[in-house]
Amino acid sequence: MAEMDEHERKIVNEFCHLLEKSKQLFNGLRSFFSRDLPQYGHKQWQAYFGRTFDIYTKLWKFQQQHRQILDSKFGLKRWQIGEIASKIGQLYYHYYLRTSETNYLNEAFSFYAAIRGRAYYSRTAKDDRSVQMSDLMVKKLRYYARFIVVCLLLKRMKLVRDLVRELSKQIDEYTTTYEPEDQLEWSLVLAEIKSFIDADNTINVLDMDSNTIVLSHRLSGHNTPPLEKTPMMNLTLQEILIVGNCNDQVKFSELTIDMFRMLQTLEREPQEDVAQIYDASPAPNKIPFENGDASGRTLKRENPHKYLLYKPTFSQLMVFLASGFKELPANGAMLLYISADGAFTSSKHPQDHQHHRGNLFTLFLHSPLMGMCLVSSLCDVPMNLWEKCQTLVDRFITEASRLVTRGRNVDPSFLQFFGDDFLRLLTLRFIFCSTVLRAHRAFKVLDQPLHEKQGRQFYPRCHPNLPEGEVLDHPSLYAIILDLATTLDVSHLFYDTHDLQ
């Protein structure tokens, strides 16, 4: 350190204290970041998160206010500022994972974007002996991987592609310069990212210039199914377990493509615009609190709480299930989603099941129109055609909602869950998927008696059953599917009404 007066020494000492304290708290949180230690339950980590956010907020403000002294007297490096920003981004991302509040993704994005925009990691002085350059390169690579995950979840695909190109270049530089032992690991990370992006582009919606349009499939006012509410509809979705256990499915950062799709399906669209705070500290009212803000005011939670489990052991699954049930409030419901390989399949189908690019049923739950396009072998759909077809899908959903709520033979348990936006959405998309597959020639053979029809193993099933005549095979729903097939010019793939008589 350069010579300092008392004021400068006080500033440097305070910065060192905040920096050391922040590292201690962040390292303590790693027990919650790790899959090997408990992530379940809300109270175990809530208070620790609050303390860690508080110290990082102070640290971030402090380095801003005293940057000149810290630069000249402490020798503060730009990569060190980048490390602070990166850790704040990680905090917001992990808080998002544990609260399911998508606005925290925007906060993580702001700090990660600041690192890239201000080139905190790019100008690394080679004469800086305080850190091994190879270690600093690893920090940079990990930052890129984390930023890509956040951008994928926010559907910022143009930026994702830019980041992937930059990461590829950084990996080449890292492996060429240092010939590290983990070069194969980083090559696999890059391959995973590219495969994941490719799998997510199952159906391309194109503008007039044939450029791909990025669509969001989170719940919003535009796709919330209509509802005629009744007193029986008294349950709300509060806890969700999303489990990915497929061996041959693309993944990135312990998120399989099915988990990635369901995660978005069960979230509301972020309400806030991305705050371009960059070097600014997080606003006090954005410091995360589970049931209130910094002033103690109660905040409404927009999304159910989720757990994401990638290939958990049976005991881990049971612990998370038990914890989720324990957290349920009165009239709360829990959803368990498992994406896994069948245990009793008699033969493999290497010609297919697109299986490594995600399950068909999951795609229908994520985006019904994409599911329809996939079983119709459509890859590219012009935006004007997509919008016209989406209108028909919305009409189907509205009609299916009416049939469920008014059906005399619909089990009352469906209505208990039907008042929740997410559970109603999944139920109605299940009906859409079932109707499409029942109408599709590839999923049915008609030359046998009804009870012996082949292809029923391809239909989604539910318990208790939805009545076929009143809902699943209802003529009004079938007619909309045929209209949709005609609009997509794939009506030859579907049975006409008279074929079923």
| Cα Dmax for the chain | 94
- C-alpha 32/C-alpha 28 separation (Å) is 8
Cβ atoms 134, 178 nearer than 8 A:
yes
Q: What is the DSSP track for 445-459?
A: --SS-GGG-TTGGGS
Q: Is the peptide bond before 226 cis (omega within 30 degrees of 0)?
A: no
- C-alpha 393/C-alpha 225 separation (Å) is 11
Measured distance between the N- and C-terminal CA atoms of the chain, rounded to whole angstroms: 88
The tokens describing 217, both together, are: 């499939």
Q: What is the 3-state secondary structure (H, E, C) of 192-230?
A: HHHHHHHHHCCCEEECCCCCECCCCCCECCCCCCCCCCC
Q: What is the pLDDT of residues 221-268, one digit of tens each?
A: 888 888 888 888 999 999 999 999 998 899 998 899 999 999 999 999
- Work out the angle at residue 266's Cα, subtended by the Cα atoms of residues 264 and 267, and round it to the nearest 5 degrees: 70
Residue 194, Cβ density class (10 Å: 0-12 exposed, 13-18 middle, ≥19 buried): middle
3-class SS shares of the chain: helix, strand, coil, % to 5: 55, 10, 35
Q: Mention every residue, 6+ apart, whose C-beta is less than 8 A from residue 316.
A: 309
- C-alpha 363/C-alpha 153 separation (Å) is 16
Which pTM does this prediction carry?
0.86
Q: What is the DSSP track for 85-136?
A: HHHHHHHHHHHHHHH--THHHHHHHHHHHHHHHTTTTT---TT-TTS-HHHH
Classify 338 as helix, strand or coil.
strand
The torsion of the CA quartet 466, 468, 472, 478, rounded to 10 degrees, works out to: -170
Query: What pLDDT is recorded for position 129?
Result: 53
For residues 393-420, one letter each, b for 16 or more C-beta atoms within 10 angstroms of the residue's C-beta and e for the rest, the string is bbebbebbbebbbebeebeeebbbbbbb
Could you list the pLDDT tens digit for every one of the 501 residues in the chain?
557 888 999 999 999 999 999 999 998 877 655 544 455 555 566 777 888 999 999 999 999 999 999 999 998 999 999 999 999 999 999 888 888 888 889 999 999 999 999 999 875 545 455 557 888 899 999 999 999 999 999 999 999 999 999 999 999 999 998 888 889 999 999 999 999 999 988 899 999 999 999 998 999 888 888 888 888 899 999 999 999 999 889 999 889 999 999 999 999 987 654 443 333 333 334 444 333 333 333 345 578 988 899 999 999 999 999 988 988 999 999 999 999 987 655 555 544 577 788 999 999 999 999 999 999 999 999 999 999 999 999 999 999 999 999 888 999 999 999 999 999 999 999 999 999 999 999 887 555 544 444 556 678 899 999 998 899 989 999 999 999 999 999 999 998 865 654
